[in-house]
A = this chain, B = another copy of it.
Amino acid sequence: MIVVKLKPQINVKQISVLINRIEKSGYMPHLSKSDGRTQIGIIGDEQSILNLRLSRIKGVAEIIQTDKPFKLASREYKTSDTHIKVGEITVGGKKIVMMAGPCAVESYEQMLLIARAVKKAGADILRGGAFKPRTSPYSFQGLKQEGLKILAEVSKKTGLPVVTEVVTSANVGLVSRYADILQIGARNMQNYALLEEVGRTRKPVLLKRGMMSTLEELVMAAEYILSQGNSNVMLCERGIRTFEKYTRNTLDISAVPLLKHLSHLPVIVDPSHGTGVRSLVPATALASVAAGADGLIIEVHNNPEQALSDGFQNINIPEFNSLMKDLGPLAKAIKREM
Residues in chain A within 8 A of chain B (CB atoms) = 43, 69, 71, 133-138, 167-170, 187-188, 190-194, 196, 210-217, 220, 223-224, 227, 240-247, 250-254, 256-258, 261, 274-275, 277, 279-280, 282-284, 286-292, 326, 329-330, 332-334
| Contact among B214, B274, B330 with A245 in the assembled complex (CB-CB below 8 Å) | B214
Determine how close the nearest CB of chain B comes to the CB of A233; give it in whole angstroms: 13
Q: With A169-B168, A253-B284 as known contacts, state yes or no: A246 contacts B138, CB within 8 Å.
A: no
Q: Which residues from B are CB-within-8-Å of A138?
A: 43, 71, 223, 227
Q: Which residues from B are CB-within-8-Å of A241?
A: 212, 243
Q: Which residues from B are CB-within-8-Å of A252?
A: 242, 244, 250-251
Q: Do A280 and B257 touch (CB < 8 A)? A: yes
Bound-state CA distance A287–B289 (Å) is: 7
Q: Do B250 and A250 touch (CB < 8 A)? A: yes
Q: Do A242 and B242 touch (CB < 8 A)? A: yes
| Contact among B170, B210, B326 with A334 in the assembled complex (CB-CB below 8 Å) | B326
* 14 residue pairs from A and B, CB less than 8 Å apart: A71-B138, A133-B190, A168-B169, A188-B190, A214-B243, A214-B246, A242-B250, A247-B258, A254-B280, A254-B283, A261-B279, A286-B291, A329-B333, A332-B333
Determine how close the nearest CB of chain B comes to the CB of A79; give it in whole angstroms: 16
Nearest 5 Cβ contacts at the A-B interface: A212-B212, A168-B193, A290-B290, A257-B283, A187-B190
Determine how close the nearest CB of chain B comes to the CB of A59; give it in whole angstroms: 27
| Contact among B137, B196, B214 with A244 in the assembled complex (CB-CB below 8 Å) | B214
Bound-state CA distance A74–B168 (Å) is: 28
- Which B-chain residue is minimally distant from A187 (CB atoms)? B190
| Contact among B250, B283, B288 with A292 in the assembled complex (CB-CB below 8 Å) | B283
Q: Which residues from B are CB-within-8-Å of A290?
A: 283, 286-287, 289-291, 330
Determine how close the nearest CB of chain B comes to the CB of A74; give it in whole angstroms: 12
Q: Which residues from B are CB-within-8-Å of A291?
A: 283-284, 286-287, 290
Determine how close the nearest CB of chain B comes to the CB of A141; give it in whole angstroms: 8
Q: Do B224 and A137 touch (CB < 8 A)? A: yes
Determine how close the nearest CB of chain B comes to the CB of A244; give it in whole angstroms: 6
Q: Which residues from B are CB-within-8-Å of A274?
A: 254
Q: Which residues from B are CB-within-8-Å of A292?
A: 283
- Which B-chain residue is minimally distant from A250 (CB atoms)? B252
Q: Which residues from B are CB-within-8-Å of A261?
A: 279
A169, A244, A333: most-surrounded residue (chain B CB, <10 A): A244
A136, A253, A291: most-surrounded residue (chain B CB, <10 A): A253
Q: Which residues from B are CB-within-8-Å of A193?
A: 167-168, 170
Q: Which residues from B are CB-within-8-Å of A279?
A: 257, 261
- Which B-chain residue is minimally distant from A168 (CB atoms)? B193
Q: Which residues from B are CB-within-8-Å of A211?
A: 212
Q: Do A170 and B167 touch (CB < 8 A)? A: no
- Which B-chain residue is minimally distant from A260 (CB atoms)? B283
A188, A291, A292, A329: most-surrounded residue (chain B CB, <10 A): A291
Determine how close the nearest CB of chain B comes to the CB of A32; give it in whole angstroms: 17
Determine how close the nearest CB of chain B comes to the CB of A335; give it in whole angstroms: 9
